[in-house]
Amino acid sequence: MRLPKSIPGNILRGLAWAGVLFLIAPLLVVIPVSFTPERYLSFPSEALSLRHYETLLFDRRWSGGILTSLLIASVTTVLSVVIGTLCAVGMWRIGGRRMQLLRLMVLAPLIVPSIVHALAFYKSWIDLGWLDTVWGVIVAHTTICVPLVMITVSAALSGFDHRLEYAARSLGARPLTVLRRIILPNILPGVVSGGIFAFITSWDEIIVILFITARKVRTLPQTIWSSIMERVDPAVAAISTVMVAATLAAVIIKLTLAKRAAPQP
Amino acid sequence: MSAGFLEIRNLVKRYGTAVAVDGASLSIAKGDFLTLLGPSGSGKTTILMAIAGFVKPTEGEIVLSGRNLVPLEPEERDLGIVFQGYALFPHMTVAQNVAFPLELRKWKPDAIAKRVEETLAMVDLSRFADRRPAQLSGGQQQRVALARCLSYQPDLLLLDEPLSALDRQLRARLQDEIKSLHQKVGVTVVNVTHDQDEALSMSTHIAVINRGRIVQYGTPDDIYENPATRFVARFIGRSNVATVERIETKGDGTSALIAGQWLPVEPNPTVAGKAALSLRPEMIEIGPPGTDRTDARKVVMDARIENCVYHGGTTALDIRTAIGPLRAEMPTSRLGVRPTAGATVQASWPVRAGRIVSEDDTALDQQ
């Protein structure tokens, strides 16, 4: 895109930075707040304290929430990576217009508003008896995350030459061997980014959780939600800081992986 | 027809109502270098992919040294294929690419290492063993693809237009290399191309394919010198082809009526039905008007030059004659004067240079 020449470079740059600041500032606010020694949300005035980080570790409401979320997000990631990858590879292999239609259907969970989704899960989970179970949450989250994996894996496959599969088979490889030794190594960056997307999505999903869990299953976002609703606890700022740091770490890992697997000319 | 090494019997492939291959039959001997030559969409690649196992034939048989290939999966056929674009595995080194089929065949690691070394030496790529395919030139990638197929010594090597992506000079060099490799290894090759020069220079046999049918099968010189149909004459050597209205044989020879003119021709008893006259551009001689016309072994007619294209060693001339427009191609050194558009000249060719061919591909189906 060509920008009009009338805007001088430094103003343009200033605008860009203002935009970046606008996006990031709210996130940055939580970091100092998390170090406050007080029991309420405030900026630390004199001393810094790690007490709210301690709460995260030792208060069972928080640590339990973190562990539950970790469990759900990990299992969800594994399931959606396996299902999403196999699905994307299968659709890539078959190809054609019918697959385009199917792709649209599989991607529907991304298009339907979460609240509609949540309602649908709620209704079905009652009948299945899955309400308020870890397994029920995992299934719901996997449903949401499979399309994410499919998108990234399909993108990786779109640049993958069908003839590589043909070549491998003509050299004597069975279809599963082709998948393991030829296709997977080449689409690994797509699989990994899909997995990261899936993990993050499951990790901070709240809407569906609010609908299909009650007391037995308490994930981290749910704990945050209720601790904000019930009493304004600076531990929320602490966990937010941890989550920002973790997300940042994940993005950095993903970027380094993407760079390493940069497409060869 | 005795049982050949590779036999294709009445191969048919239909996609819905579209017919890609329409009853192709072929038989080649061990050690042959067969080229399937045809324009794009003629069905030649479909035939190759049916041999390879990536296309399931609608009808027909493919038998390789007595073994019916049709029910076998591609990985069970034990063939070598070099694909257009080479299809080297980008995440493996050259050596790993060549080792891949050997690992699948459960060779011992030291045997693999030895064979990889030998094969890379054969295609002169030992120095590049640890490179990735992306770090090689097109010609080198091509040789890796060949090495990868030759390492496990398949009975049959299939080439799917492997040279089409390369520039002209490299193509010529690799043609020579493949040819000498073929002679050295003795492998039987089925090659697919739309490039007639490649087909003529590399193959021991050529099958010319048009609209899913094998129009003519023979050795390169046979196909070039005795084209059977208008299509073959046009496709290989870009012959002039004129429709023949009538053929009559009298005491002193055979004549053909073309555009209202009777021309002496050589009879061709294999052509039944509608006929055409094929005349190679390089057989037409252009000379100054008024030369001797009494030689019965020559056809001589007046012509006007319409266009003239200089190619260096040869010069192509579009001329208009009593039987219609013709293209002539002469060594530039033999053109007495620099021809100019509009000039009146005399065109002549030996009677035996004009070949009577079948007008229609479907008329001859003697395969």
**What's the whole-number mean pLDDT along residues A102-121?**
86
With 60 as the cut, is the pLDDT of residue B160 above it?
yes
Find, among B275, B205, B206, B259, the residue nearest to B235 by Cα: B206
Q: Does B62 touch chain A (CB under 8 A)?
A: no
**Does the pLDDT at position B351 exceed 50?**
yes
Q: What pLDDT score does B366 carry?
A: 43
Whether residue A263 has pLDDT greater than 80:
no
Question: pLDDT for B226-241, tens place per residue?
Answer: 999 999 999 988 889 9
Does residue A188 sit in the same domain as residue A68? yes
Using CA coordinates, name the residue in chain A closest to B159: A167
Closest CA–CA distance from residue B234 to any residue of chain A (Å): 32
Q: Is residue A95 part of a domain?
A: yes
Give, as one character, the DSSP assignment of residue B108: -
In which band, very low, low, confident or very high, does the pLDDT at A34 lie, cut at 50, 70 and 90? confident
Residues of A within 8 A of B75 (CB-CB) are: 169-174
Residue A103 lies in a domain: yes
- Hey, CA dihedral for B323, B328, B333, B335, is it positive or negative? positive
Q: How confident is the model at residue B343 (pLDDT cuts 50, 70, 90)?
A: confident
Q: What is the pLDDT of residues A62-102, one digit of tens each?
A: 889 999 999 999 999 999 999 999 999 999 988 888 888 88
Q: Does B77 touch chain A (CB under 8 A)?
A: yes
Tell whether A198 and A247 lie within a shared domain.
Answer: no
Q: Which domain holds residue A118?
A: 62-219
How far apart CA B282 and CA B326 sit, in angstroms, is: 11
Pair A119, A185 in one domain: yes
Counting Cα atoms < 13 Å in the Cβ hemisphere of B182 gives 22
> Beta strand pairing status for B344-350 and B285-287?
antiparallel
Distance (Å, whole) CA B123 – CA B94:
12
Q: What is the pLDDT of residue A1?
A: 54
User: What are the tokens at A65?
Assistant: 């929430």
- Residue A265: per-residue pLDDT: 40
Q: Which of A168, A169, A186 is facing B90, going by the closest CB pair?
A: A186
Substitution target in A160, A170, A179, A186 with the highest count of B β-carbons within 10 Å is A170
Residue B84 contacts A where some CB pair is shorter than 8 Å: yes
Q: Return the pLDDT at B98.
A: 95
Average confidence (pLDDT) over B43-65: 94
Mean pLDDT over each residue of chain B, to the nearest integer:
88
Using the beta-carbon criterion (under 8 Å), do A167 and B104 form an inter-chain contact? Answer: no
| Chain A residue nearest residue B51, CA to CA | A170
Q: What is the mean pLDDT of residues B70-75?
A: 94
**Is residue B168 over pLDDT 90?**
no
pTM of the model: 0.79
A210, A238: one domain: no
Cross-chain Cβ contact A167/B89 below 8 Å: yes
- Residue A219 makes CB contacts below 8 A (sequence gap 6+) with A65, A68, A69, A72, A137, A205, A209, A213
User: Closest-CA residue in chain B for A265?
Assistant: B134
Residues A79 and A178 in one domain: yes
Query: Could you give the ipTM of this predicted complex?
Result: 0.81
- Cβ–Cβ of A170/B75 closer than 8 Å? yes
Question: Residue A124 to residues A108, A130, A146, B326: CA-CA distances in angstroms?
Answer: 17, 9, 19, 79
Are residue A111 and residue A213 in the same domain, yes or no? yes
Same domain, A183 and A258: no
Please tell me what DSSP assigns to residue B166: S
Residue A225 lies in a domain: no
Interface contact flag, B75 A174, Cβ < 8 Å: yes
A189, A242: one domain: no
Task: Give the minimum alpha-carbon distance from A186 to chain B in angstroms, rounded to a whole number.
Answer: 7
Beta bridge partner(s), residue B318: B307, B327
pLDDT of residue B100: 96
Q: A30 is written with which tokens? A: 């939580």
User: What's the CATH number where A194 sits?
Assistant: 1.10.3720.10
Q: What integer pLDDT is reported at residue B167 of this predicted model?
A: 79
What Å distances lie between residue B150 and B80, B94, B116, B182, CA to CA?
7, 14, 10, 10
CA distance A163 to chain B (A): 6
Do A75 and A199 reside in the same domain of the chain?
A: yes
B85 touches chain A (CB under 8 A): yes
Q: Does residue A171 lie in a domain region?
A: yes
A46 domain-assigned: no
Cβ-count burial B216-251 (b if 16+ within 10 Å, e if not): bbbebeebbebbbbbbbbbbbbebbbbbbeebeeee
- The per-residue pLDDT for range B176-194, each reduced to its tens digit, is 888 888 888 888 999 999 8
Question: Tokens 């570790």 correspond to what residue?
Answer: A57
d(CA B120, CA B2): 37
Residue whose entry in the numeric block shows the structure tokens 């129009």: B215
Q: Find the residue in B nearest to A185 (Cα).
A: B91
With an 8 Å Cβ cutoff, are A172 and B104 in contact? yes
Q: Is the pLDDT of residue A3 over 60?
A: no
Distance from the B89 Cα atom to the nearest Cα atom in chain A, whole angstroms:
7
Whether A264 has a pLDDT exceeding 50, the answer reads no
Closest Cα in chain B, distance from residue A79 (Å) = 26
Most distant CA pair in chain B, distance: 79
Nearest CA to B238 out of B283, B205, B206 is that of B283
Give the pLDDT band of residue B1 (cuts 50, 70, 90).
very low
A146 reaches B (C-beta below 8 A): no
The Cα B363–Cα A101 span in angstroms is 45
Which residues are CB-neighbours of B294 under 8 A, at least 6 positions away?
none
The per-residue pLDDT for B293 is: 67
- DSSP β-ladder status, B275-279 and B354-358: antiparallel
Whether A264 and chain B come into contact, CB under 8 Å, resolves to yes
Residue A163 has its nearest CB partner, among B74, B83, B100, at B83
| Domain contains A183 | yes
Beta-carbon separation of A169 and B74 below 8 A: yes
For B236, the token pair is 């290989």
| Binary contact (A163, B84; C-beta < 8 A) | yes
A159/A248 same-domain check: no
DSSP string for residues in B26-93: EEE-TT-EEEEE--TTSSHHHHHHHHHTSS--SEEEEEETTEE-TTS-GGGS--EEE-TT----TTS-
Q: Are A148 and A253 found together in one domain?
A: no
- Asked whether residue A16 is domain-assigned, the answer is no
Residues A165 and A66 in one domain: yes
Q: Do residue B134 and residue A265 have CB atoms under 8 angstroms apart?
A: yes
Question: Which residues of B, range 142-171, sit inside 8 Å of A by Cβ?
Answer: 148-149, 152, 158
Testing the interface with B: which of A162, A171, A264 to mutate, by most B Cβ within 10 A?
A171
Among candidate residues B16, B4, B67, B19, the one with its CA nearest the CA of residue B209? B19
Bigger pLDDT: B165 vs B77 = B77
pLDDT of residue B248: 85
Question: How many domains would you assign to chain A?
Answer: 2
Asked if B91 lies within 8 A of A186 by C-beta distance, the reply is yes
